[in-house]
Structure 1
């Protein structure tokens, strides 16, 4: 009995430690909700998947985003096609010549009997190949089309499996096709014997999701370039969401063990992947009594998962969760690497939780678990430290027409306090984007200008709730564009008063991952405040302006002529102040603002894109003051650090010659 009590105590300590390092239930819920709301706010049918979409934010994890192609629909059988959609092409699955979990996609016979012009689908015509006297959709050509036309030319990109990766492998994008029905190959999954997980309600929900198809064929197949992999990503996400927190932490630990311990061995790197870990967890969860997944039993649960992984590798068997005929470990290992990985996994198993001693994420367990982490860091500090990276990640482009969708979902589906807070933050963010869009760009007349002015002003006021600073500065920029220089200066002065030491810069936080003593103290004083109040009063975001923004100073229009861009709040405030004084012919105040801008430039991190814009703003200010030499020096410095040509530095240099 004493041994059992000691084991439970050890498990509880480890569980609490994991909540600090990986995320508590509350943190995971916020991460998930933030990304789900972000997906709702996209103009495309967007699904955030992968570790971050599941609520985890582990070291080295990228953001996986799936876009469902609106122009193509897949059916299992031709008889399922009741109506011919003039806006979408229909394809039929053909699995006669493919391995399980793969399919070919044949063009619907209806189209075969017509001249292949397709109207709006002309671009898709080049993706078809002839196979057995029928047109089949090429996965390889489809992926190339996505790469060439669906990414801005300035983004570095490469093919990574079925995905297109960019931005230093931080993001994986996959365009996929959808079948709304649950396919035959996976129907045995619905009624196979299981304990209590997944529940009948969850099974029904998963069936309603249908399946996806991603553009990659079975490796080594003679028809690899025209095959598509059947993807259950949405279903898998729902299954992960149903995990208890203990299950999720065991899943995270296996991923950490894989990435931070096993993959350090170069000859084993890539042999096991996250998808295998996920599949393993599904099988174990289905066969296990849900009551075993408790915080005071987390160590035995994890060890059982690790033992099952060793078994799967030893016997080269890991069945696909939805289509068990597909053995994911078939021909995966050779004699040498199989023996080595079994030896390594067995050694780790014998060490118990000490197997994480060489892990970067969990190596300090023995030290921190003996300390009172609650006394070292307040709940708010820990909460923000773990969720800020997600809020930084999701600051992507929103389309104005998605505001109504967000509002509708907020009003009809938001039932918890946390979801209402996150919806409010996201809606405020979107309204700031909407404010960038001139609703009447070519409309003459005072009435249209007045309506546009009022709409932009109203949107910006709603956007003030997104954070502590950037909304105020965009409002100041709005007044500047409308030549209300005094109003703009008053807004800038008020904003600068709020730029105090306790503010948390979200753009730099991803590099620092910690808070200074003042920030910790203020967060501790605000321990009874709601998340929305903390975000609004303490968080600083970069000022983001959309492409062809109507509220950015004319002097910076060049920077948004091709793409959206970011400006660091403090230097942007000083530059905006400089511009106001410049137009008010107050040269003395101009020089003071320029000095403050230069001081902000010296303290900026030059390799962050929005800090490159700080150097460019210095150059523009010097240029306006007639100091061409200093302007050229600033543009040259920015261009030297702008390897990917994100900024306008080179273009502005050319204009000075």
Structure 2
């Protein structure tokens, strides 16, 4: 139970701190929007967004965790439950020789041949071989500059910004966790949440118990779906306490090199689950904010001091068993003790929450309601990752939109997702030269209709895809008309969501904040269509891509700055219309954009700058100015350290 005796925290201070946290971490509405957006984005992909982002938090430094459910296998608790021995391939859990929370997966029918071979001794599915296969498949299918590596049960990109875990599913609640369902507790979690959790079964991820002689053939039992249900059932005060623990870990504890890796977010989540189960939900109120957090921090200290943190679903598994050594344990205890003594002043050295004292007197409800922070924190949800799955997924989203969308917010988010997905459908359309006219016309109308739906996602990029579509169809006048309208819409209050926005804070200038606040009462889709624009993203071999850029998009995903792409597309249209004067004017405008981008945050938007230089080089080349073209490609190739653009290839063709 939370111990409140002897603690006299003013309710007004807790309320002020709560309001401050809502600004810094996210209000209830912001969190609800993030969660809904990710849940909708997961539809039709057979995957689950987990981790902080999936839980509704968007903390600086948090990576994106995506669990992809492998439908090739299906896991059962025992042989008697197996319904089919063909497809999906049935696997039986064997926990007799494993530590709690781990299992081996045995193939029931050993006559089934799996290519490549993933089996150990012919009947146990190897977690190690499975991960290696997943990594090789990802390296083949995820376009450059992706460079994957194995990270625990996941594969990660080179910068550790995203973790993919291919996992297997058992539809039944496992025997080892059955006591959790009926064990004594207060009123949390409520019965309906317990029921949903049990009916969701469990996942199995490819990693064994460290130090086990069978580590490479063991699988960890993952309760990620259950944990997501539990986090979603938190009050906002509970969620903020959880977020504060994560911030404390990242901003303060892990600044000590010798303490890095001793604690992780999963341990903090487990602490939150135990203390929530033992506490009356009424305690978790905004006016108890500081008290609640201090109780969580003290529980963490207790767990470290006595090296005991029981797994929430399978308590036989002590997560802190042999976790700490003498020296680092003493240092961690000393640090946590000191943080407890400081109270909320422990965040004075935090990058995220350091300015509470200086801002506390200025925090009001009206400030929160007007803050552009809401928009800045919601937007990255839509750009966090992209897995295309065609028009079938659009139909599924439309079905859910019509039958399961119950709130105004969910309807808005569904509409945005459907609009965004519609923009990508024409990207898979090819127009063979031998295609008969009637069929060609049908595909043309099909793609045009989806592009028109896609115009509703943001202010600019949908229009530019439409302009590019007209260009590929050799309708240069229509393309120029759309481009001129697009450039007219590109004004200073627009907020640019560059390619890495999901992993960087979205910064707004004074005008952008002012306009966003003026639109605070507008619907989210209206705000995004009016204020947001994103790069022109392309996957490979697209019918929307000008012939001149096929070298840039073949076998990789490319993205171009909307303004530079607009001027480059204008140049191409005028070139094919034999209007050389307008060609030169478009090239000059393109060079002006190049200079502007060169003054921006180069590390974050480097690809925008490099691709704009390449555009200039292509322009010079088409005009017969080979010296200027060669110089542009040299500059771009020098800046393209990872060789992810066409610069080096284009340069070699000119030499």
TM-score where L is the length of structure 1? 0.94
Q: Does residue 1:143 correspond to 2:146, yes or no?
A: no
1:264-323 CA-to-partner distances (Å, cap 9, x unmatched) read: 111111101100000010000111000000000011111111111111111111000000
**Counterpart check, 1:424 vs 2:422:** no
| 1-structure distance, mates of 2:392, 2:619 | 36
Q: 1:276 & 1:220 partners in 2: Cα distance? A: 20
Q: Which residue of 2 aligns with 1:212?
A: 203
Partner of 2:268: 277
Q: 1:515 and 2:513 equivalent? A: no
- Alpha-carbon distance, 1:519 to partner: 1.4
Q: Are 1:568 and 2:566 an aligned pair?
A: no
Q: Residue 24 of structure 1 is aligned with which of 22, 27, 34?
A: 27
Equivalent in the alignment of 2:571: 578
Residue pair 2:290, 2:344 contacting (<8 A) in 1 also: yes
Equivalent residue number for residue 541 of structure 2: 548
Map 1:229-378 onto structure 2 (within 5 A).
229-372=220-363
Is contact 1:392-1:507 (8 Å) kept? no
SS at structure 2 position matched to 1:150: helix
Equivalent of 2:647 in 639, 646, 649: 649
Give, in angstroms, the shift of residue 564 of structure 1: 2.7
- Counterparts of 2:577 and 2:197 in 1: how far apart (Å)? 63
Q: Which aligned pairs between 1:165-204 and structure 2 lie closer than 5 A? A: 165-204=156-195
* Residue 506 of structure 1, CA deviation: 1.2
Q: For 1:41 and 1:222, locate their aligned partners in 2 and report how far apart those are by CA, in whole Å.
A: 39
Query: Equivalent residue for 1:628?
Result: 626
Secondary structure of 1:100's counterpart equals: coil
Is the 2:138–2:148 contact (alpha carbons within 8 Å) kept by the matching residues of 1?
A: no
Aligned to 1:531: 524
**Deviation at residue 611 of structure 1 after TM alignment:** 3.4
Q: Distance in 2 between matches of 1:623 and 1:375?
A: 56
1:167 CA displacement: 4.5
Partner of 2:123, secondary structure, is strand
Distance (Å, rounded) in 2 between the aligned partners of 1:401 and 1:278: 36
Q: What SS does structure 2 have at the residue aligned with 1:549?
A: coil
Larger mean Cα displacement after TM superposition, 155-164 or 451-460: 155-164
Match of 1:65 in 2: 66
Which residue in the other structure is 1:558 paired with? Answer: 551
Name the SS for the 2:155 alignment partner.
strand
SS in 1 for 2:545: coil
In structure 2, relative to structure 1, the CA distance for the partners of 1:442 and 1:53 (3 Å cut) is: farther
613-622 or 467-476: which moved more?
A: 613-622
1:245 is displaced (CA, Å) by 0.3
Following superposition, the deviation at residue 424 of structure 1 comes to: 0.6
Question: How far apart are residue 358 of structure 1 and its match?
Answer: 0.8
Structure 1 residue 6: Cα displacement: 6.5
Within the candidate set 470, 473, 482, 1:482 is matched to 473
The TM-score, its normalising length taken from structure 2, stands at: 0.95
How much does 1:84 deviate? 2.3
**1:618 aligned to 2:616?**
yes
TM superposition shift of 1:512: 6.3
My pick for the range that moved more, 599-608 or 73-82, is 599-608
Once the two structures are TM-superposed, the CA of residue 55 in structure 1 deviates from its matched residue by 0.5
The counterpart of 1:14, out of the listed 14, 17, 26, is: 17
- The answer on whether the counterparts of 1:35 and 1:394 sit within 8 Å (CA) in structure 2 is no
Larger CA deviation: 513-522 vs 406-415: 513-522
Mapped to 2, the partners of 1:194 and 1:424 lie a distance apart of 41
Partners of 1:444 and 1:391 lie apart in 2 by: 36
Given that 1:378 and 1:523 are in contact with CA atoms closer than 8 Å, whether structure 2 keeps it comes out as no
Deviations 1:480-521 (Å, cap 9, x if unpaired)? 111111111111111111111111111189456332222122
Contact 1:622 1:631 in 2 (8 A): yes
Counterpart of 2:257 in 1: which secondary structure?
coil
Match of 1:94 in 2: 94
> Cα 1:140–1:343, aligned 2, differ >3 Å: closer, same or farther?
same
Following superposition, the deviation at residue 411 of structure 1 comes to 1.1
- 1:524 CA displacement: 2.5
Superposed CA deviations along residues 330-350 of structure 1, whole A, max 9, x for unmatched, are 111112211111111011001
8 Å CA contact 2:430–2:542 kept in 1: the answer is no
Question: Aligned equivalents of 1:443 and 1:239: distance in 2?
Answer: 56
Partner Cα separation in structure 2 for residue 504 and residue 451 of structure 1? 36
Partner Cα separation in structure 2 for residue 373 and residue 499 of structure 1: 34
Give the number of equivalent residue pairs: 640
Native 8 Å contact 2:149 2:158 kept in 1: no
In 2 relative to 1, CA 374–523 (structure 1 residues): closer, same or farther, beyond 3 Å? Answer: farther
- For 1:583 and 1:231, locate their aligned partners in 2 and report how far apart those are by CA, in whole Å: 58
Q: Assess if the C-alpha contact under 8 Å between 1:502 and 1:518 holds in 2.
A: yes
1:46-85 deviation per Cα after TM superposition (whole angstroms, max 9, x unaligned):
1100001100011210000111111111111011102223
Of the three residues 442, 451, 460, the one matched with 1:469 is 460
Give, in angstroms, the shift of residue 585 of structure 1.
0.4
1:38 counterpart = 2:14: no
Q: What is the distance in 2 between the residues matched to 1:415 and 1:601?
A: 46
Moved more, 323-332 or 562-571: 562-571
Question: What is the distance in 2 between the residues matched to 1:81 and 1:375?
Answer: 58
Pairwise CA distance, 1:396: 4.7
1:373, 1:580 → 2: CA distance?
Answer: 53
Q: Residues 61-140 of structure 1 correspond to what in structure 2 (within 5 A)?
A: 61-85=62-86, 87-108=87-108, 111-112=109-110, 114=111, 116=112, 118=113, 121-123=114-116, 126-130=117-121, 135-140=123-128
Q: Which secondary structure does the structure 2 equivalent of 1:182 belong to?
A: coil
The alignment partner of 1:507 has SS state of: coil
SS of equivalent to 1:425: helix
Residue 372 to residue 345, structure 1, CA distance change in 2 (3 Å):
closer
Offset of residue 205 of structure 1? 0.2
CA contact (8 A) 1:414 1:420 kept: yes
Task: Classify the secondary structure of the residue corresponding to 1:369.
Answer: helix
Counterpart selection for 2:376 from 363, 385, 402: 385
Structure 1 position 440, deviation (Å): 6.0
Q: What SS does structure 2 have at the residue aligned with 1:318? A: coil
- Cα deviations by residue, 1:129-154 (Å, 9 ceiling, x for unpaired): 11xxx611111111111111223374
